[in-house]
Amino acid sequence: MADLFSGLAGALPFLATILFGLTFVWALLLTRRTRQLRARLDGLTRGERGGSLEAVLEAHLLRVRDVADGLKDLERRTLTLETRLPTAVQQVGLVRYNPFEDTGSNQSFALALLDGDGDGVVISSLHSRQATRLYVKPVVAGTADRTMSDEETEAIHQAVKPARTLPRG
């Protein structure tokens, strides 16, 4: 048994050196891995232009609040427009014509200006060599309570006919 311990005593410095070498290599690998993890963590926590993650998140929250405020403003403006839109001129019809033989080039016209409910006016202009006269007649729900000329009636029909939709591109 003494021989066994004396043989181990000679190998003990060699085994300790190997164990130390393995421990040293393991420590180097762990150090390298720690540096890699630290670099990844720094990359995650460092924001735009080197700021902290907290600063980046705070900036994004401010942007979100600004967008929310802008959205509220747009909703308010949209509601105002939707309230006012039915009474705005939405339908227009124009007929140009020549009512007199002694004038040329269709300088007279009938112009229908109607809102979403078909309420509005028809403005007529009669142009002759001596004078130009303007007439305004009220229109309610797409019809007039006064006698209309053929051109005025045509202008109302043009205004109330369904609008052509443009293709979306």
- Write out the residue range of the structural domain in which residue 129 sits: 88-160
Asked whether residue 48 is domain-assigned, the answer is yes
Q: How many domains does the chain have?
A: 2
Asked whether residue 104 is domain-assigned, the answer is yes
Mean per-residue pLDDT, 123-143: 86
Check whether residue 58 and residue 96 sit in a common domain.
no
pLDDT band at 169 (very low <50, low <70, confident <90, very high): very low
Give the SS3 label for residue 112. Answer: strand
Mean per-residue pLDDT, 55-59: 81
pLDDT band at 48 (very low <50, low <70, confident <90, very high): low
Structure tokens of 101? Answer: 């033989």
Check whether residue 49 and residue 117 sit in a common domain.
no
Domain boundary among 83, 102, 120: 83
Is 70 exceeded by the pLDDT of residue 159? yes
Domain boundary among 83, 111, 136: 83
Model pTM above 0.85: no
Q: How far apart are the first and last CA of the chain?
A: 97
HSE (side-chain half, CA atoms, 13 Å) at 44: 6
Check whether residue 70 and residue 15 sit in a common domain.
yes
DSSP string, 8-72: HHHHHHHHHHHHHHHHHHHHHHHHHHHHHHHHHHHHHHB-GGG-BHHHHHHHHHHHHHHHHHHHH
